């Protein structure tokens, strides 16, 4: 689609004014704000041409124009300027993230809560899940005389724990044997390999040691199976009820979709860096009037989980993309550092 320089300038101005005010944009307002040397009639003709191309809509006969979903798409792909975070904004984000940097789950929960507060939309953060990940290490921590905790750490930074109980007193020497036995056979192995059949085969190879380790092995199996699923941290769903763009039951349909974790993670955990899905591009009927801005974060150079914002199509894309990319970079760095400390 070819647009003249003037049409590009007009489309960008309509989108940005509508995002800022929520009000339709007229030709006179554009002339006043953009200091065009042409008349309002010329601008009006250009806006009519943009409408004929499906980039602008006229909600009421006497009103100005607003962007269509197609118009937003052209704006995001070709006209949008990222709005970098100020040093103060980066400092605030860093301080909030650092307070949870010791625990992956708390860090991801903090990210979604922070994003929901910043945007007044719904925000979600996920772990990577275990598909394609490997076991980095399995640790054993004694919690009482006869109980201990399995700590399973994956190559994508996920950490799962399970407490198990033995019929005998545990000692540091016994747990060191557990650690050596399990890690010799599991470290580096894909998580999908840790099945009941694998555990049975492992137990059979341990001989009499299997009797001592039976509860520990079952705890490892439970932790590995849980690690296969991506953790989802969702915040800010109720913010959508206050978005005027969601008329009637629109907000509740979006909230209902967000409650279905499997579908939500499938939507935002697609390959790639930053993605902006506008309305019908989401291929979800509940999100036909919504936009999803999602960004993957990396751990040790590999795609891991994602952070995303879900709201109406009228959102500040330039600011959101810059914010998500900064957050994804910081989260990836923190999780990489935490993973290196645990190994």
Residue with tokens 């009482």: 144
Label residue 300 by pLDDT band (50, 70, 90).
Answer: confident
Helices (runs of H) and strands (runs of E) counted in the chain: 12, 10
| pLDDT score at 166 | 94
H/E element, 14: helix 5-21
Q: What is the CATH topology of the domain spanning 87-128+230-342?
A: Beta-Lactamase (3.30.450)
R_g over Cα of the chain: 26
pTM of the model: 0.82
| Structure-block tokens of residue 132 | 């394609």
- Cα gap 51→71, rounded to integer Å: 9
Task: Tell me how many degrees the CA angle 315-318-321 measures, rounded to the nearest 5.
Answer: 90
Mean pLDDT score, 58-67: 82
pLDDT-above-70 percentage for the chain: 97
Identify the residue with better confidence: 102 or 198.
198
Query: Exposed, middle or buried: residue 108 (CB in 10 Å: 0-12, 13-18, 19+)?
Result: buried
- Cα gap 326→82, rounded to integer Å: 12
CB of 116 closer than 8 Å to CB of 234: no
- Shortest CA distance to 129 belongs to which of 312, 331, 299, 340? 299
Mean pLDDT of the chain: 90
Where are the strands (E) in the chain, listed by range? 56-57, 66-67, 122-126, 135-142, 147-154, 159-165, 232-235, 274-278, 290-299, 302-312
CATH of domain 135-227: 3.30.390.60
Q: What are the domain boundaries of the chain?
A: 5-79, 87-128+230-342, 135-227
| pLDDT score at 279 | 95
Label residue 142 by pLDDT band (50, 70, 90).
Answer: very high
Question: What's 5-79's CATH class?
Answer: mainly alpha
| pLDDT score at 342 | 61
- Cα gap 171→142, rounded to integer Å: 8
| pLDDT score at 258 | 95
| pLDDT score at 325 | 95
Label residue 62 by pLDDT band (50, 70, 90).
Answer: low
Q: Is the pLDDT of residue 61 over 80?
A: no
SS3 157: coil
């Amino acid at each position: 689609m070819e647009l003249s320089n003037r049409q590009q300038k007009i489309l960008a101005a309509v989108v940005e004014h509508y995002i800022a005010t929520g009000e339709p944009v007229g030709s006179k307002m554009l002339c006043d704000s953009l200091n065009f040397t042409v008349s309002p009639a010329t601008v009006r003709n250009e806006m009519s041409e943009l409408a004929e191309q499906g980039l602008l809509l006229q909600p009421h006969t006497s009103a100005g124009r607003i962007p269509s979903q197609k118009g937003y798409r052209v704006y995001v792909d070709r006209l949008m300027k990222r709005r970098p975070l100020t040093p103060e904004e980066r400092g605030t984000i860093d301080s909030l993230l650092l307070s949870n940097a010791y625990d992956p789950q708390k860090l991801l929960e903090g990210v979604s809560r922070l994003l929901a507060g910043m945007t007044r939309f719904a925000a979600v953060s996920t772990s990577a899940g275990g598909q394609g990940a490997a076991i980095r290490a399995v640790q054993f921590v004694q919690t009482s005389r006869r109980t201990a905790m399995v700590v399973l750490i994956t190559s994508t930074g996920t950490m799962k724990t399970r407490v198990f109980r033995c019929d005998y007193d545990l000692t540091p020497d016994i747990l060191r044997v557990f650690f050596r036995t399990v890690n010799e056979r599991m470290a580096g192995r894909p998580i999908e390999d840790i099945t009941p059949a694998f555990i049975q085969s492992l137990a059979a190879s341990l001989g009499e040691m299997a009797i001592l380790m039976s509860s520990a092995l079952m705890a490892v199996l439970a932790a590995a199976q849980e690690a296969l699923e991506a953790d989802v941290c969702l915040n800010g769903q109720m913010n959508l009820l206050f978005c005027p763009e969601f008329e009637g039951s629109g907000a509740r349909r979006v909230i209902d979709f967000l409650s279905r974790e499997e579908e939500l993670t499938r939507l935002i955990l697609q390959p790639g860096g930053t993605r902006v899905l506008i309305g019908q591009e989401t291929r979800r009927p509940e999100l036909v009037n919504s936009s999803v801005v999602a960004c993957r974060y990396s751990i040790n150079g590999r795609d891991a989980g994602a952070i995303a914002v879900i709201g109406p199509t009228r959102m500040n894309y330039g600011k959101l993309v810059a914010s998500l990319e900064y957050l994804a970079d910081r989260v990836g760095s923190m999780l990489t550092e935490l993973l290196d400390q645990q190994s």
